[in-house]
Amino acid sequence: MKTSESIYLDIRGLRYHVRSWGRQGAPKLFMLHGWMDASASFQFFVDALKGDWHVLAPDLRGYGQTQRQGSDTYWFPDYVVDLDCILEHFQPEAPVNLVAHSFGGNIACIYSGSRPQRIARLVNIDAFGPRAEGVKPARLEFREQTPAEKTQVEVPPKRYAEWLDRIKKGSKFRDFDAFVDLEKRLAREHPRVTPERLAFLARHWGRLREDGRVMMATDPHNAQNDGIHISVRMDDAIACWNRITAPVLWLIADEGAMKSRAKELANGGAEQRLQQFRTRREVHLPETGHMVHIEKPELLAQLVEEFMTEKSA
């Protein structure tokens, strides 16, 4: 197992933790983890890399060892701004190679369209953008609503009200007697992941508290992601995706989002989104769930290394 070191940065008043593997001075590879994850889960991917890379992976705000905000809601655009600060710190001049999974992929895609000149190459892993739930077709297709669409239940006030109700209730994670109990829990959620990897993940997704119990490292307020959904809209995301100029390798886990979000992504929903990326090349990963970097780290490493080292057209 390749060892990582921890770098701490002050990003907009928060103490950010960035995990670093490999040789200083080697070509850099920036990694963004997803919702309810942390940088440590890229360990297996890093172990499978063959080339000489300097891998840098932040724990996003409210995750892993990065400081919590101290408030009850996390907002999508804050992550985009944080990403810009992190990239500027490590690689202010040259455009970066970015690999991003799920929620991290959504951040990376919006960012890549907003600051296209900052991105050399982007690997987007199973990240299809905002939920279309309740988003009217007119918004997706840039046209006037039909009379029938106009009478649909309005989404924004409903979403706001649900969010307001949720923060009043508060968010808590259960804690565990010991890491093995967390492992058992994780095994249920991630049936494809080996016990060794689960034991590793439990120790990074969980944290030993002073009283000897094991708590989740993630801020529970991140588990309720209403704020994230409120603050990124489909039409805005599409406008950003359209502006990406860097080559994008789009990895689709056939048993990941395509299954869990089948309602929006089946029947052309996924293609409609993919088409907004002009510079993409997509690869389907059969028999792979959403957590590609944990389930198939060797395959991911191979695809990423091929893509990052190929000659630009």
Partner 1 sequence: MKSSESLYFPVRELRYHVRAWGPADAPPLIMLHGWMDNSASYQFTVDALKQNWRVLAPDWRGNGGTQWAKTTYWFQEFLADLDALLDQLSPQAPVNLVAHSFGASLSMVYAGTRPQRIARLLNVDGYGSPDWRPEGMPERYVRLIDLLKKEPRLRDYPSLAEFEARLKQQHPRVTPERIAFIARAWSRVNAQGRVELLADPACASNFSMQFSSRPDDAMACWRAITAPVHMLLARQGGVIERSDDLSDGRMEQRLANLRTADISWVEDCGHMVHLERPEALAARIDAFFPYVHPASPANTAAQPS
**Residues within the interface to partner 1 (CB under 8 A):** 12-13, 69-73, 75, 77-78, 80-81, 84-85, 110-111, 113-115, 142, 154-157, 160-161, 163-164, 167-168, 227, 230-231, 233, 235-236, 238-240, 243
Q: Are strands 206-208 and 214-216 parallel, antiparallel or unpaired?
A: antiparallel
For partner 1, give the closer residue by CB, 157 or 191: 157
Encoded tokens for 230:
């409120």
CA-based end-to-end distance of the chain: 35
Minimum distance of partner 1 from residue 293's CB (angstroms): 26
For partner 1, give the closer residue by CB, 221 or 296: 221
For partner 1, give the closer residue by CB, 110 or 304: 110
CA–CA separation, 133 and 255 (whole Å)? 20
Minimum distance of partner 1 from residue 222's CB (angstroms): 13
Minimum distance of partner 1 from residue 65's CB (angstroms): 19
For partner 1, give the closer residue by CB, 226 or 295: 226
Minimum distance of partner 1 from residue 11's CB (angstroms): 10
For every residue of 219-248, DSSP letters joined together read -HHHHS-HHHHHT--HHHHHHHHTT--S-E
Helices (H), the chain: 43-48, 76-90, 103-114, 137-141, 147-150, 155-169, 179-189, 195-205, 220-223, 226-230, 234-241, 257-260, 262-265, 269-274, 292-295, 297-309
Minimum distance of partner 1 from residue 142's CB (angstroms): 8
Q: Are strands 28-32 and 96-101 parallel, antiparallel or unpaired?
A: parallel
Minimum distance of partner 1 from residue 120's CB (angstroms): 18
For partner 1, give the closer residue by CB, 203 or 229: 229
- CA dihedral 121→123→128→130, nearest 10 degrees, is -60
DSSP 8-state code for residue 171: -
Minimum distance of partner 1 from residue 75's CB (angstroms): 5
For partner 1, give the closer residue by CB, 20 or 69: 69
Containing H/E element for 17?
Answer: strand 14-22
Encoded tokens for 254:
């056939």
Minimum distance of partner 1 from residue 173's CB (angstroms): 19
For partner 1, give the closer residue by CB, 43 or 112: 112
Q: In this structure, are residues 56 and 41 in contact, taking their beta carbons and an 8 Å threshold?
A: no
Residues 6 or more apart from 151 whose CB is under 8 A from it? none
Q: How far is CA 129 from CA 110, 224, 234, in A?
A: 9, 17, 7
For partner 1, give the closer residue by CB, 204 or 221: 221
